[in-house]
Amino acid sequence: MENRRMKVGFVGLGNMGQAMASNLLKGGHELLVWNRSPAPVQKLVALGAKAATDPQQAFDVDVVFSMLADDQALRSVLLDSGLLKTLKAPLIHVNMATIAVAFAQELAGLHQAQGVAYIAAPVMGRPDVAASANLNILAAGPAAAIAQVQPLFDLIGRKTWPLGEQASSANVMKLAVNFMLASAIESMGEAAVLVGAYGIESAQLIDLISNSIFPGPVYQGYGALIAERRYEPAAFKASLGLKDVGLALAAAERVSVALPMAQLVHESLLDAQAHDEGHMDLAVLGQVAERRAKRG
């Protein structure tokens, strides 16, 4: 596919999906959108998209993107419904969700059996980054299929990182990144409690590190949320962080790799969930660290 007008489907219109779908529209492509709840669909229809009556219609296109919440949601829409068994080439399915490595491998095999190209393309970036089309896209799958959808990737991301023909490689990389992100936030939260115990404002710590040895969006962005104890509204929910760190641990177990830090971060996220903080931003790990210090 050259830079021509394509018929594109998009399934799963959460905060990230909505932003990406709206940027695809800016490329002048015909876009069919589907979501379980109708409100996000109507927002995109107002921008020029067409509402698909069901996922089947959204998959009756040249390229379909899926951005569903988790393994269970994707399995329900694609496998349990029997939808995948109806798909045919030359459709290309681009799955942008962060899913388990084992499930990614299963999906790649099932698509191959159908003769349908499957690309795993999870993204790095929060909803504001998605809205500005500055996502980093981790893409793995058939090289020819990736080349065909690259014009669409260019509409939603600032860079595509090719990770080979094995689709699950993109999911491994995304889980590794999210594990590192959660670990960085965990360490910031603990360090903020430490300086606070000595009468130093946590904002001073964040200002110091983000303008010296740890510049960049993780320490500046999440650090500010920790310093201000501002955990809502969430751009990246702690419950999703818990899911992703859990998936990283599962992936590690499959290849006998120990991730002791991931175990600790997972326990902290379980603590947040137990205190009804799963809906809050991942930065709530700072609050978990405070609570742990008081218990100690």
Q: What's 145's domain CATH number?
A: 3.40.50.720
The SS3 of residue 160 is strand
Of 166, 199, 222, the domain-final residue: 166
- Number of independent structural domains in the chain: 2
- Which among 3, 238, 26 is positioned nearest to 130, based on CA atoms? 26
Say whether both 147 and 266 belong to one domain.
no
Say whether both 49 and 70 belong to one domain.
yes
Say whether both 149 and 20 belong to one domain.
yes
pLDDT(2) > 80: no
Backbone angles phi, psi at 93, to 5 degrees: -105, 120
Query: Angle at the Cα of 49 (from 139 to 98), degrees rounded to 5?
Result: 30
Say whether both 66 and 203 belong to one domain.
no
- pLDDT value for 3: 64
pLDDT band at residue 296, thresholds of 50, 70 and 90? low
Q: Is residue 2 part of a domain?
A: no
Query: What span, in angstroms and rounded, lies between the C-alpha atoms of 44 and 34?
Result: 10
Say whether both 187 and 156 belong to one domain.
no
pLDDT(18) > 50: yes
Chain mean pLDDT for the chain: 96
Of 122, 139, 166, the domain-final residue: 166
pLDDT(194) > 60: yes
Say whether both 130 and 42 belong to one domain.
yes
Q: What is the pLDDT of residues 41-99, one digit of tens each?
A: 999 999 999 999 999 999 999 999 999 989 999 999 999 999 999 999 999 999 999 99
Of 136, 166, 196, the domain-final residue: 166
- pLDDT value for 1: 41
Say whether both 90 and 145 belong to one domain.
yes
Say whether both 144 and 70 belong to one domain.
yes
Say whether both 20 and 161 belong to one domain.
yes
**C-beta of residue 130 within 8 angstroms of C-beta of residue 103:** no
Q: Is residue 1 part of a domain?
A: no
Q: Is residue 232 part of a domain?
A: yes
Q: Which residues are catalytic?
A: 174
Q: For the domain that residue 204 is a member of, what is the CATH number?
A: 1.10.1040.10
- pLDDT value for 5: 86
Query: What span, in angstroms and rounded, lies between the C-alpha atoms of 248 and 172?
Result: 8
pLDDT band at residue 4, thresholds of 50, 70 and 90? confident
* Residue numbers of the domain that contains 124: 7-166
Query: What span, in angstroms and rounded, lies between the C-alpha atoms of 183 and 180?
Result: 5
